[in-house]
Amino acid sequence: MFRGSVLSIAACTLVSSSAVLGSARKAEPLARLAIWQGSWKEMVRTMETPYSHAASVSSHSTCSWTPDHGYMLCEYARDTGDPKQLIAADHLSIFTYDDSAKSYKHLGVSKEYKTLEEMARIDGNVWHYTYQLPVGGGKMLDLRDSYEFVNANRRITRIEVSSDGGKHWVLMSESLDTRIR
């Protein structure tokens, strides 16, 4: 009887251990979002384009997990700059992993433009996503953002714009981002 109890306990332990390992494996893609976590200080260099003015502005972002670790929330705020810029720097990004589609999702929320939802693509240590913003008169601009994580505490962010459907791209801004905690 004692031997039976020990075998039952061992079997239950193995079943629960494999369930934990299975859920840990399932969480692995979502865990990649941790690279965003923390407070970041950013020095943004905006280029002179038809949609932006040349300037250097400081900004910051704060990224953290939701309480149940299902989403990474990043709030971006500019510290200084031209409030008349077409592309607003103040916004909220929500990242998650879609198990069924096997892809990362990004939702961008801003007070100044329509909410954006797109798939994020990861190439090594570079995260990319593309989206469109209206410029008036029914015209849309194509934008593509890239976030290159140079190391655990450094990131280079680039935003490019195209007004011809993606045939030609112009660098609109570039920033060097440093994790401060």
CB 118 within 8 A of CB 131: yes
**CA 123, CA 64: separation in Å to the nearest integer?**
22
Count how many residues are written for the chain: 181
Domain count, the chain: 1
Domain boundaries, position 23: 3-179
**Per-residue pLDDT for 121 more than 50?**
yes
Q: Taking every pair of C-alpha atoms in the chain, what is the biggest distance, in angstroms?
A: 82
Contact between residue 44 and residue 78 where contact means Cβ atoms under 8 Å apart: yes
Q: What is the CATH number of the domain that holds 62?
A: 2.40.128.20
Query: Has residue 23 got a pLDDT over 50?
Result: no
Query: Does pLDDT of 117 surpass 70?
Result: yes
pLDDT of residue 11: 41
Mean pLDDT (the chain, rounded):
81
- Full-model pTM: 0.76
Residue with the larger pLDDT of the pair 160 and 83: 160
Question: What separation, in Å, do the N-terminal and C-terminal C-alpha atoms of the chain show?
Answer: 56
